[in-house]
Structures are given as structure tokens and as C-alpha cells.
Structure 1
Amino acid sequence: MTQLDANSQYIRSVRLKLEQLPRGTFPFTLPFVLNLNELQLHPNITYIIGENGMGKSTLLEGIAVAYGFNPEGGTLNFNFSSFDSHSPLDQYLRLVKGTDRPSNHFFFRAESFYNVATNIEELDREFAYGPPIIDSYGGVSLHEQSHGESFFAVFRERFSGNGLYILDEPEAALSPLRQISLLARINELVQDGSQFIISTHSPIVMAHPLSKILQITEDGMHETTLEETEHYSIMKQFFDDKDRLLHHLFQ
């Protein structure tokens, strides 16, 4: 299968049900919610970026839960709950889907990945029908690998072509080299008919050319380029003139 286009992408856009929207409570006080009407997604990769507290994870969670994922992550078949803390945003989102349907799905959340790994082990202890679930993650307990290696086992083993993947800060446990490897893996999957929605702070991860970068600020949400992001400019400034930056920083 080749990469998706505007006619075949799995989620085309996300619309806010303005007529039903509560006012004055979180997350409906977030700037992007106050200014959001319809969010057009890229057929291949949509990056959602911004400073901490701007609502990136809240938006990603809302899209994932509205699609049918468990708030803590996993495939569409996961339904465990370690702590019910997700926002009600999903109830006010309308997903506009394309005509094609993905055959593989995953909602990856760095902050709750431990809970997903634990649930896999619990399910494998409880059920003896069919092969163990962990086999589709490489066959090695995710708890018996380093944090970064367990992340990458999911990207490498569980993700396949023709998939919809929603990733919340996937770079959290990855070295720069592993982030480059993740970008290469994303490219393989994009070329094989997959669509990604990714929240990230990493200029490496957000560097794929077949993408749209949406930045959330106090003024709402706007499209930008990699070179225009603060993530890129700060890292470039640091490495171009590290001594000067540190001199001013430490004064």
C-alpha cells in the first residue's frame, strides 16, 4: 500500500460541537478550545506542539477517546482504568472520518505507558486462549526492558502498515539516536498507508516533510514550519553559540 492522501486518510478533521460546549470550566477555558472550530488533519502526519500547559495532551486524548481508544492508551481492545482522570473534551468533538478504515490502531501515551505494559502482563496471566498478547510486542516483557527499549518495541513490533497511530510525547524515553530511528520507523509506516497524530517537544521527531505542524499558544492554534518553531530555534541557538547563551543564562 502507498501513503494516504486527502481522500483516503482515516481521520480528515476534528470539529468542536460549539452548540453544546460548556463554558468556564477546564478544558473549555484552554485557548485552543476557545478558538477551535474545525481542525484539518494532514493525511500522513499531524504534529501538535506547544509549551507545557497549552493543552496538547488534552487535545490528543480527546481525539483518541472520541475515536474509541482507552484514555490511558493501547489498542482499541484495551479497556482498563488505573485512575480515571481524563477530561470530558471527547464528548464535544466530532471526528470526520475518511472512506478507508485502518486495520491497525494504537494510542501511545508516554505518561501512562507503564499501565499499558502492566495490563498486558495481567491479561496474559488471566487468559490461556491463543498466543500471549506480549508476542505482538516482540515476545519480551515490556517491564523487563529499559524504558526506551520498551517504547521502541511497541513502535517496531506492534505498529504495522495501514494503521492509525496517536502518539503523545513518544520521545520521552528515547535518546537522540532513537528519536531518529523513530522518525525512520514513522516514515516506513507512512509509506505503507498509515496516519499519525503526534504531540511532541522534539524537533527531530517533528522533522518529517509529509506533515503539518500545528502550534498551540495563548492565542489559539496556528500552522507553522519546523524552522519557525521555538523548539527548533532554541536548540539551534544553543548549539550555534552555546557559550554565549550559557553566559547570559547563568548571570
Structure 2
Amino acid sequence: MRADYDRVLKQRNALLKTARLPRGKAIETLDVWDGHLTDLGGQLLAARLGLIADLAPQLARAYAEVAGDGALAAGLGYSSTTPLAGDGAAMRPDGVLPTAAELTASMRERVAERRGDELDRGMTLVGPHRDDLVIHLGPAPAKGFASHGESWSLALGLKLATFALLRADGEDPILILDDVFATLDAERRAALAEVARSAEQTLITAAVLEDVPPELRGGRVEVGAGTVRVLDPGEVAS
């Protein structure tokens, strides 16, 4: 779906650029591409909103585990150029999502409103390609307000939420943790280690081996000084 949308978007942008030229007649075929764009765009928006609705509760749980007691609640929203798709506010767990057909109709209306602006600028100004996922921390968007530690915890929470969502769908993903334990206290290391132990396969990187909880120190690969060495589980790294 995304590949088809990108193809239509590319063609439509080319037509908008051509329509700006003197005596350009590409405008006559723009309506056809509008239909393709909004049909695919509505489907893509519906899929995105559905994914966010499924991911949001997983993020809330994962962030609470990583951030610890007293942390603000984490949430997800969607900021869209299509009014019906969202204004960036945190999505409510009991909210009713619009259908693909409703989103297509809303997007088509907005495209018609912005036609003049698009012709002036020679680009498509409405659609999923201009939308954003919005991460919330408490009542406000995290961007511009979250501290460095909160931002890091949100990034880790989002990774763990994605992992949990894939597992809920019957997948068995590999959990990759890139040098994350060094910045965690003992309680948070233990919580994250519990998640890692539940995964069938986990890949962990660390600059210092002691940062990794002992129960996760399985097969190891030491990289340094231009060499790569595979260590047995009981072997001490140099």
C-alpha cells in the first residue's frame, strides 16, 4: 500500500510542477490522480491509526516500567493534514476510529481546498507523507518538553512496546538492545532484563560488560582494536 501511495504521490507532484508552466495542460488530468491519491491515502491513514491505537497501551506500560514510580504517563497521537485523522492530541483508548472510506472523503475535501496552494508550490500538501506521530508525556507533547532522560526512556519504551505488539500478533521477533543498560539504575535494569529473558533471541551491545545483568551474559562477541573475537559463555573478556 505504501509503495503504491508513493508512486502516485511522485506522479502527482510531477503533474503539479508541470501545471505551473505556461500553457501547461497537466491540470486536466490532476483530478484522476487526486482520486488515486485519496483512495490510497485513506487506506494508509486507517492502517496507521489502527496501529497507533494498538501500540499506545503497550507504550504506556513499557514506559511506566522503564521510567519508574512517579513518572508521567506516556501516550500516542497523530498529527495529520487530513482533519479527520487527528490533530496531534493523545489518542483515547476507548476512541472510535474513522473508517478508510471516511478518511478518504475527508482527505479528498482537504485536497480540493488546498489545490490553489499546491499549484503555486508545485507539490502535494495533503496526505500521510506530511503527517507525524506525536508522543505525549503527561498532558503535553514530549517534543520540546521532555528532558534528556525522559526522551531516552520514551525511545526505549517505544522499542519495548513494538516488541510486545509483535509478540501479541504471534511473531517471535529478535529484541535488540543497543548499549541501554549503562544509563539504568538497578531496579530498571532488572525490569528490562526480565523482558529480555522472555524473548527467544536478544542481541545486546555494551561498552562495559558489567553493565549487562549477569543472567543475560550468554554467548559473547568482543570487538576492539580492529579485531573480533567470539567468547565462550564462561570466558573472561580481555
Q: Tell me the TM-score normalized by structure 1.
A: 0.31
TM-score (norm 2): 0.33
- Structure number with the bigger relative contact order (C-alpha 8 A, sep ≥ 6) is 1
Larger Rg, first or second structure (1 or 2): 2
Normalized per residue, the structure richer in helix is 2
